[in-house]
Amino acid sequence: MTTAAITADGRGSSIPEPEYLDLLAAVTAWVEGPGEEWAGLIETTGTVPDALWKELRGAGFLSLAAPANLGGRGLSFVQWMGLMEIFSRSHASVRMIVHVVNGTWRAMNPHVDDVQRRKFIRPSVAGDLLVAFTLTEPGNGTGADISSSVRRAGDTYYLTGRKHLITFGVRCDYWLLFARLAGSTGSGGTVALLVDRHAPGVEVEDTSDTLGVRGTDHASLTFTDTPVPVANRIGEEGDGLAVALGGFLTPSRISVAMSCVGLAQRAQQLAVSYALERTTFGKPLASRQAVAFALAENAADIAAARALTLHAAAAWQDGTADAGSLSSMAKLTAVDMLTRVTDKALQVHGGVGYWKTMPIERVYRDARAQRFEEGTNEIQKTVIARGLLGRFQAPAPDGGRVPAPAGPGTAPAARP
């Protein structure tokens, strides 16, 4: 990439190819070495120890995606997706940590002032301050459906409402929380606030006992007149949804799609190894056509999803109008691919793959979580359809409708 200007969300940043290849090798070595040891410990204890956070921070893995002027490594977004592909072959909690910490700064940085950038963004990029993205509410449908409200008195907002399914909501330092001004409707009344984890008037319920992604903490939160300084508002009043959806959701969906690709690669690797080692009736399992065909289908499925995800990543990196639609296409396609691949990979293992002693069992459980992260498949279809149908809304000079050229490349960006 030759672009000199670096935008607030990091687009325009990149590192030289030799340096990037060295970084790919280093991440791969960590995932296949220490990462596997950490995976076993997390599954045994059900928690992510502080020592792992410290190791990831010390290795620089929590500041890879941010530009150098924020203290990051300065990867381009496409380069970052190459690393996400590798991290996602590790334990799901490892993937979750690097995904979240390398992403939340994108939502905040375009909207902060210099004081906030020093206080919140730089420490977040360094991994010294953990910010939990806090949008979803228990009584509403999508993340953009917000009931939590604030009323302002002088230099303080008072927050009342509930949030749930908040990743790192227990151990974070701040919640990047989205609410609306009391009495307002629509996106124009929304605000983004950094709420101190230890602010008064907050009830935190640990809801971390999940099917997969063991070790990552999740929280349900109840706020009752919780004071939040106006100085902790990100952007202006009315910018809440722009902060939540503008700089975060599109690249995050692409990142989740690439996470699906990486995890599918791990499932395929386990299935191929088992098929080559397992002998039935005197022959390797891989020699059975049914098994070989299943593995071939997996390989094609993974390659197709990877190509679409990289296409979406390049579109967002270049700022094209169809990046929003493409991000949903990539996430929808990759999630469905992961479902098929992990199911076949487990089937190749036979009954033994159902036991916790086999690595494929954890991969199979972790894969299911991807279907909820950053919006369900139904939400992705809504975004894609809105962009697709929106191409036909421009009136022609004679009062008719002008159909756009076929293909996703012409679809405008859309939000749920």
Q: Which of 372, 257, 368 is CA-nearest to residue 308?
A: 257
Active-site option among 85, 361, 373, 374: 374
Give the whole-angstrom CA distance, residue 269 versus residue 311. 24
**What's the token pair of residue 89?**
């072959």
Phi then psi dihedrals of residue 234, to 5 deg: -95, 115
Q: How many residues does the chain have?
A: 416
Q: How far is CA 218 from the centre of its chain?
A: 15
Per the annotation, the verdict on 374 as an active-site residue is yes
58 Cβ contact list (under 8 Å, min separation 6): none
Just list the catalytic residues: 374
